[in-house]
Amino acid sequence: MTSDTDVCGASHEPVASRREFVAAVTVAAAGGAVAAGAAQAQTPAPNLRFSNPPGMTKPAAYSHVVEVNGPHRIVYLAGQTGVDASGKVAQGFRAQAVQVMENIKTALASVGGDFDHIVKLTSYLTDLEANADVFREVRASYFPNKAALPASTLLQISRLASPSYLLEVEAVAILAPRA
């Protein structure tokens, strides 16, 4: 990869491959969204796949996984809570944090991915002071490659969809295109 110069003459060093990949995918996705037109907004494009993988709850009002196949696959994971496939909520914050990460692992596996493919996490906790350190510890155990951690946002909110949920985490992953 070579360095380039912008219109102001500032030199840019090569960016890490993941950042370049995400930038290219974002530009391509934005261009595709503009070209799609309003009529196609109501009909899923053939390059979209909506799923609720085995091993996760079966929601009635949303999909756990939305996969966009193109030059790269962008996979959006709905916010995951500490609920197992049977609908049981894990007891205690640490148990919910582990269940959340296991749900993300299951969702990623359903599209041929793993935690190395995640480029962005957004995490919502109901009590940062009490639980942020535990959450960071559990999250870190699922991302062993400390040199390639995803972008991450951690927020405190007053409550989630159910008062028994202590956290929710959504993710975006980038994978190679499907054949």
d(CA 109, CA 35): 31
The reported pLDDT for the residue numbered 43 is: 63
Q: For the residues 149-169, what does the mean pLDDT come to?
A: 96
Integer CA distances (angstroms), 103 to 8, 34, 96, 122, in order? 46, 33, 10, 15
Q: For the residues 73-80, what does the mean pLDDT come to?
A: 95
The 65-68 sheet, strands edge to edge: 48-51, 65-68, 73-80, 167-175, 118-125, 151-156
Domains of the chain: 46-175 (3.30.1330.40)
- The alpha carbon of residue 99 and the mean position of all alpha carbons in its chain are separated, in whole angstroms, by 16
State both tokens at 116: 């190395």
Indicate the average pLDDT of the chain: 81
d(CA 40, CA 179): 23
Flag whether the pTM goes above 0.75: no
Q: For the residues 82-101, what does the mean pLDDT come to?
A: 97
The reported pLDDT for the residue numbered 42 is: 52
pLDDT above 70 coverage of the chain, percent: 75
d(CA 153, CA 177): 27
115 vs 39, higher pLDDT: 115
